[in-house]
Amino acid sequence: MPDIRPTVSSTALVLNQTYEPLCVVSVRRAAILILSGKAVCVADGDGVLHSARQALPVPLVIRLSRYVRVPYRTHVGLSRRAIFARDGGRCAYCKAAAETIDHVLPRSRGGRHAWENVVAACARCNHTKGDRTPAELGWRLHVTPVAPKGMAWRGLGHRTPDPRWADWLDLPRAA
């Protein structure tokens, strides 16, 4: 059993054998997968873990030794954090820092609360827009709102990804 010392990163990204992001696990769980031969470390984090017999660099990203089949379609919860992550934390109308969620077609006019009709927005644009559509205001969207695809979202939709995972994730980079 590895003796886990407090480290900067407490979680590791798990990639499938095909390098497709699968999920996020604790560093402890990642170390156990490596020590049991079920995964290999792809990128080291900061620090070293010590078990009774060996020292192991803190895993930052690991890759499973065997392919894990996952269901094709995964539902991603429509959370505020997931919407901000999809839109890079920027207002869809003016690219300022987003603070709110806006329904492109307002709910008062039948707009659905769905991935295709929600965008991150700054408070000013959201307030100015009110119950009008972007077309009525002559506004253009800087993003096309779609449901996020890909396994990266399976385990990350509700948490902030470690920026050091960016090379393995197809996520918008927040400025």
User: DSSP readout, 82-145?
Assistant: HHHHHTTTB-TTT-SBP-EEEESS-GGGT--SSGGGEEEE-HHHHHHHTT--HHHHT---SS--
Q: Which of 69, 72, 85, 124 is nearest to 102 (CA)?
A: 124
Stretch that binds Zn ion, among 32-40, 51-59, 115-123, 138-146 (CB under 5 A): 115-123
Distance CA 122, CA 160 (A): 20
Residue 97 interacting with Zn ion (CB under 5 A): no
48/141 with CB nearer Zn ion: 141
Residue 91 interacting with Zn ion (CB under 5 A): yes
22/120 with CB nearer Zn ion: 120
> Which residue in 34, 122, 151, 156 binds Zn ion (CB under 5 A)?
122
Residue 120 interacting with Zn ion (CB under 5 A): no
| 137's tokens | 């205001």
The pairing of strands 55-64 and 11-15 is parallel
Q: How many residues bind Zn ion (CB under 5 A)?
A: 6
60/121 with CB nearer Zn ion: 121
Contact residues for Zn ion (CB under 5 A)? Answer: 91, 93-94, 96, 122, 125
